[in-house]
Amino acid sequence: MRKQYTAEQREKLIAEVRATGERVSVVAQRMGVAASSAYLWMKASPAPSVPVFARVVPARASSVRVQVGGAAVVVEAGFDAELLRQVVATLSGTT
């Protein structure tokens, strides 16, 4: 028999994945939720209208590394701001 999860458990897991950028399976394991269930919840959940998480980590003096979820983009000096916005929107699922 399959374990039943509450709507609150689903919402908490989805919020934590989006807020931290951690892998779904890692958050699911920590919360005692089957990874397959967690992936289904994430897939069924509407994407936020703006990125919930974005972390900027200096890579070198002339660039920055932007992490959105599991993807990382190194942005060099003189970058195209509109292109970067489109990339971040695509990675965030907000296109």
Q: What is the DSSP string of the chain?
A: -PPP--HHHHHHHHHHHHHH---HHHHHHHHT--HHHHHHHHHHSPPPSS-S--EEEEEETTEEEEEETTEEEEEETT--HHHHHHHHHHHHT--
In a domain, 75, yes or no: yes
In a domain, 25, yes or no: yes
pLDDT, one tens digit per residue, over 39-66 is 999 999 877 665 556 666 665 567 777 7
In a domain, 2, yes or no: no
In a domain, 49, yes or no: no
26 vs 71, residue with greater confidence: 26
In terms of domains, do 62 and 87 share one?
yes
pTM for this one? Answer: 0.51
* Count of domains for the chain: 2
In a domain, 36, yes or no: yes
Predicted confidence (pLDDT) at residue 85 exceeds the cutoff of 70: yes
Domain enclosing residue 22, as ranges: 7-44
Q: What is the DSSP letter of 32?
A: T
In terms of domains, do 11 and 37 share one?
yes
Computed over every residue of the chain, the mean pLDDT equals 81
Provide the greatest CA pair distance for the chain: 57
**pLDDT computed for residue 9 by the predictor:** 93
**pLDDT computed for residue 94 by the predictor:** 61
In a domain, 24, yes or no: yes
**pLDDT computed for residue 58 by the predictor:** 61
The token pair at 45 is 């959940």
In a domain, 63, yes or no: yes
